[in-house]
Chains A and B, each alone.
Chain A
Amino acid sequence: MDILELLREAASNCPAEDFLAQRGTLLEMSYAANDAVVTPRKPGRLSYPLRLAIAARISGQCKVDTLRQIYLERLAGLPEADEWSAVADTSAQPPMDTFTAAIVAYSDLVTLHPAKATRKDIVILQKSGLEDADIVQLAELVACINYLTRLVPGLRALETAS
């Protein structure tokens, strides 16, 4: 199952309103947003497996298991999966290179404690080798997955409450 199927299925199971007719476009735009941050046409220096691992990590931290499974399955389908599975796993703190460690630290902070983020956290990314485009791509990835980790459980609670 991909994210659009997940959203559509939940929406179609909400009988009180015809969600798909009224908000179907919004669900498709959300799916496109996911693609734009997880598997963009130009991934730059943030590889697909890194992006999928971060997405799975955030989903786990937000306790949205349906999303986490989708990202883990996509990650498992890539040849580099083993190399990145530790990033997807929040239970361990594997050894990482400076570049990856800075990305994971930023993702953890902005997911779990966004209010605490300051200019210093961007400086750390810069000192760890991230350029301006890398930083904005990372920020969009983390922010968009935090969008989806609210959209999916909200919609599924509506589905269940129906």
Chain B
Amino acid sequence: MSRPVHNFTTATLDWLPYIRPVRLEEATPEQLDAMKVTPSNRKISDYVLTLAHDPESLAIRSPLFNAIMYGRDGLSRAGREMGAIATSIHNHCIYCTSVHAARFLQMTGREDLIQEIFAEGEEAALDDYWQPVFDFSLKLTRTPGEISPTDIEILRTGGLTDLEIFDLVCSVAIFGWANRLMHTLGEAITP
């Protein structure tokens, strides 16, 4: 039987909405379009079916998310995932953390970093490349109004180009959005 998950993990999880998702058979044309439902794609997650209550936002957010996380050039995929992880740790989004920590592991094999983050949370001690990326992501998440050129300089000193820094900003920002949907409209559960 499925049960809520409260601790960070890289295990595959399910998501249980707190409100009734849109029923696919009752969806309007606008909702079907926002969910990208086609005759060959009718397997839609409860998360997407829940967000389909607001098709106008869903239709815009999905491509924006993909552009930020999978866009060409700039910050590495792993770098974008680290922004997602730091943000999701602070916002305590168990589901987002599980997905993006697992992806970071697939790309880097750095089990040591993920275990340190899960054990120490926002106080995690990482290596010379990842520490400034992690710390910047947390600061932008916690106190966005206090981000300053000094914070940018720290990332530059760590070897990031300005385009890579911008991509990190976008990753942190989009998870400030995603966490506030995933963590507040439902909860992570065991499969």
Binding site for B on A (CB under 8 A): 14, 16-17, 19, 22-23, 25-26, 29-30, 32-33, 36-37, 40-42, 62-65, 110, 114-115, 117, 119, 121-123, 126, 132-133, 135-137, 139-140, 142-144, 146-151, 153-155, 157-158, 160-162
Contact = CB atoms under 8 A, between A and B. Distances in A.
B129 interface: no
Interface of A is mostly: helix
Interface string B75-119: 000000000000000111100000000000000000000000000
The CB with the most chain B CB atoms within 10 A, among A37, A65, A114, A157, is that of A157
B144 A154 contact: yes
A22 B183 CA distance: 32
Nearest to B172: A150
B60 A150 contact: no
Given A36-B56, A63-B146, A153-B147, A122 B184 contact: yes
A17 B161 contact: yes
Contact of A158 (B57, B141, B169, B178): B169
A122 B71 CA distance: 34
B180 interface: yes
B54 A110 contact: no
B57 A157 contact: no
26 contacts: A17-B161, A22-B74, A23-B163, A26-B67, A26-B68, A29-B64, A32-B60, A63-B144, A114-B92, A114-B184, A121-B184, A122-B18, A123-B18, A132-B53, A135-B185, A136-B19, A136-B50, A140-B61, A144-B177, A148-B173, A150-B144, A154-B169, A154-B170, A161-B149, A161-B152, A161-B156
A161 B153 contact: yes
Contacts of A154: 140, 144, 147, 166, 169-170, 172-173
B18 A119 contact: yes
Interface of B is mostly: helix
Nearest to A119: B18
Contacts of B53: 132-133, 135-137
Contacts of B173: 147-148, 150-151, 154
Interface residues of B, number: 57
A137 B149 contact: no
Nearest to A123: B18
Nearest to A117: B184
Nearest to A19: B166
Nearest to B53: A136
